[in-house]
Structure 1
């Protein structure tokens, strides 16, 4: 008689589960072992860039010299066989750092950037017709790269609407004789549409052939961690290109980095090399020695620039999220009312930015939008440029204070270039004025230019940064509220040392006088 052993149903299920777990564990172990055998680490940067070819579009991370892939740029600049490149970056570097190397080696045919700044070499090459230059608003530039990485061919943005960005009015290249000899390549004209009564321009995605990325840490599978503000463009660029090459300060084995710490997953990364070039400060800005009470120079404290900053500070309330442009706006924090605490946002990726650090605490990876070293306050956060401009365009900033070359009576602002003479670049200004219904845009500037000509005009004669974007103008002579919708200017305050007639004589547009007109408290 045969005996049949019958296992309880519950026990059978348990046995099967154990067996399945063992098989899965074995498979996962094999997969992990296989991945360990496929390290993305290359020994030499020169070898890692060997597949870059003439005519490629190179995405180069960094903001100023912060997070710039200097090791990879240096390696590529040594290749005489690669020319006709298009480089896309926030800016082209400074001094001999960054993409300047490839400009001087004759490898770059075109630059697509947001900001030239003080790069006189690049500015002169452009004005002399020796290279092509496409200027793109900073937030639009990073979003165009993020869009391609996400499979989106184009998008609509308010940034640049009703400006030369929309009309294609900024030439990409002048003729060989330079600016005076006419335009060889016109700017790209953009389609526009109106959504909910607001004008938007369509921007095409940017596709890169090769991305050069600087990371703080990378594991052998290509997972990346960025350090502080060096995140900037690197995160988005790493996701965009056909071939992504990373230089990392530290390369670690798989499993070393916490999954919670990863900024960019390894699926986007193809090659990794050890970073060998040293970090450089673009502007080492440090805190001044403590002033002894009563020793401040009264001439400095009473300068027109500081009077403007002191008055502008009165527009900031406790807990505000604020973005301050370069120049006079940077002085505003020195004059906040006691007890006022604010969150300073810097468009290169900081919320909770602090003052200049002591020299011994300066860090090249913690810089502001002016490329100066700064500190971080308790509660600060760091993010990449895509997130930064998302919060700016989305109207999450309470107040944005900028300088300007010109402002019109209806709130138009011009502050980024003088055609044929000064080509600083657009930077983040167009984004900062793109949502004036949610973010109060204040212009803080001297009332007249150095030659005595008015800076408040009926119509701006320089290329616009934004149309009907400014809500308030604060100068050394007066304060104006701007009715952007009706195109009217209202004088609300005047300086104690001027008359209304003097203000009229130095303002090239009509304005109304507020019934609540008062003297400026400066």
Structure 2
């Protein structure tokens, strides 16, 4: 038990608590605050000993981004304990034979709370067959839910998800064997602030957090390496018991106090990992002369058109977040006369080109899980910090690919489609929405449109040789034509 001393005008009040996880309550007009019983970080030599009290049905936060920064040894230990019925909170589901995917394969996970699960076919089979419950959550919202949980904030409002299944409810969490929905997501509360709608999201806390860091000192302070900080850092703070595996344990004072990423107050147990595979999901390298697109097949030309037009969106001094695929390739065509700071949601600002073979680093990836480099002046941070930059309006440009876009700027690009369409630009998206009225410009291989959330689309550029009628035939909605309509521009190479 922990005793709390409250002093007010000379009056001493004492309150005993039974909670080890913290909290507050009121009785008889007196406020009481519970505190953790955590005193000293414990060091373990056997990872199984460090996780053996994770019981069936526990909620476990598992750090990492894809396969970068995952707690390999602790996942292996959890496989040995055979704890089952777990709720696993993880940004992704790993791959079938590594990471969180191993816990899925052993059927130890009952429910996944994730934002991206596209690399694991076993996950898909279990979900569609009704053997696995899944809460798909926008990545930035997931990071903030964890951050809020660690800060003792029970819920928060966010614009993300308004007007989508996230807010409306009805997204499948669990299927019956016959394919019908057994459990669906519930609608979220909505409030309006300054004329805009916001969705209420509840915080996430866990019974345990399994975290991968780089080094710990013998007092329990922890530091991370490069982009391996990602979801690990906020998860350290959001669990009743945080277990951290590190590559090295150093003496107190080996790193300066101002260099500590996670203070020891958040760290309950530490284990030095026996070995690390540090598997790289997408080993992407470059050779001398790489970085220019070589024209060839018609499909290549189509892709090249979009990339070279998208590159014209960059402006000097801009902070830009680029989605995987074509948006990221557009960065190869940034003019040498301007500086653009590339932001990555897994915690990097100042992305550079793909590495040469000798520069490959498993702890340095982009949001597409590709190996990358950073430029002088770059910085690393956690995923919750990264999305705070976006949510707070500090990023000037976000460039994404899309399954569909509506004439009013609704975007569909992250949830499993319900039904398809021949068109990608439509009056109303038929795929589940990712965001409501969030798109300002659409770039295709044939045309460029400006988007107004009330008036709809305006055609502003047209590929040479095409007519407005040609664009109308392949667009699933009406649009206005700018009086200053011009030929579609391309960056010069």
| C-alpha distance 96-168 of structure 1, shift in aligned 2 (>3 A) | same
Equivalent residues in 2 for 1:19-418, closer than 5 Å:
40-80=42-82, 82-177=83-178, 181-278=179-276, 279-290=278-289, 296-299=294-297, 303-418=301-416
Tell me the distance in 2 between the aligned counterparts of 1:161 and 1:503. Answer: 31
- Equivalent residues of 1:220, 1:252 under 8 A apart: yes
- The Cα of 1:287 is off from its aligned counterpart by 1.0
Q: Describe the SS at the equivalent of 1:238.
A: helix
Shift of 1:487: 3.3
Q: Pick from 468, 471, 488 the counterpart of residue 456 of structure 2.
A: 488
Pick one of 422, 425, 434 that aligns with 1:465.
Answer: 434
CA distances 1:161-195 after superposition (whole Å, capped 9, x unpaired): 11111012311101123xxx311111132101010
Deviation at 1:296, TM superposition (A): 4.1
Q: Structure 2: how far apart are the matches of 1:47 and 1:269? A: 16
CA distance in structure 2 between the aligned counterparts of 1:334 and 1:497, rounded to whole angstroms = 27
Is the contact between residue 489 and residue 512 of structure 1 (CA under 8 Å) also seen in structure 2? yes
Bigger-Rg structure (1/2): 1
Query: Where is the helix percentage greater, Structure 1 or Structure 2?
Result: 1
* Residues 411 and 487, structure 1, Cα contact 8 Å, conserved in 2: no
| Worse overlay, 271-280 or 50-59 | 271-280
Structure 1 residues 126-163: Cα deviation after superposition (integer angstroms, max 9, x where no partner): 11211000001111111111111111110001111111
Instruction: List alignment gaps of at least 5 residues for structure 2.
Output: 1-38
State the Cα distance separating 1:335 from its structure 2 match. Answer: 2.2
CA distance in 1, matches of 2:388, 2:483: 39
Cα deviation per residue 1:390-437 (whole Å; 9 max; x = unaligned)?
00011111111111111111111111133469xxxxxxxxxxxxxxxx
RMSD after superposition: 1.9
Instruction: Considering fraction of residues, name the structure with more strand.
Output: 2
- For structure 1, the 5+ residue unaligned runs are 1-36, 422-448
1:314 offset after TM fit, Å? 1.0
Residue matched to 1:442: none
* Aligned counterparts of 2:259 and 2:49: Cα–Cα separation in 1: 29
CA distance in 1, matches of 2:186, 2:61: 20
Classify 1:271/1:489 alpha carbon distance in 2 versus 1 (closer, same or farther; 3 Å).
same
Cα separation, 1, equivalents of 2:195 and 2:98: 45
CA distance in 1, matches of 2:255, 2:353: 32
Q: 1:291 to 1:47 in 2, by over 3 A?
A: closer
TM-score by length of 2: 0.88
Q: Could you give the per-residue CA deviations for residues 181-240 of structure 1, whole angstroms, max 9, x where no partner exists?
A: 311111132101010001100000111000001010011221000001111111111111
Higher RCO (CA 8 Å, separation ≥ 6 residues): 1
Cα distance in 1, alignment partners of residues 461 and 282 from structure 2: 37
Tell me what 1:497 maps to.
465
Task: Normalising by structure 1, report the TM-score.
Answer: 0.83
User: Deviation per CA, 1:224-283, whole angstroms, max 9, x where unpaired?
Assistant: 000011111111111111111110100112232210110000011111111124211111
Whether contact under 8 Å (1:306, 1:331) holds in the other structure is no
How far, CA to CA, are the matches of 2:119 and 2:486 in structure 1?
A: 40
Distance 2:68 2:146 in 1: 19
Q: Is the 8 A contact 1:114 1:136 kept in 2?
A: yes
Shift of 1:291: 5.6
Partner of 1:30: none
Distance in 2, Cα, partners of 1:517 & 1:334: 27
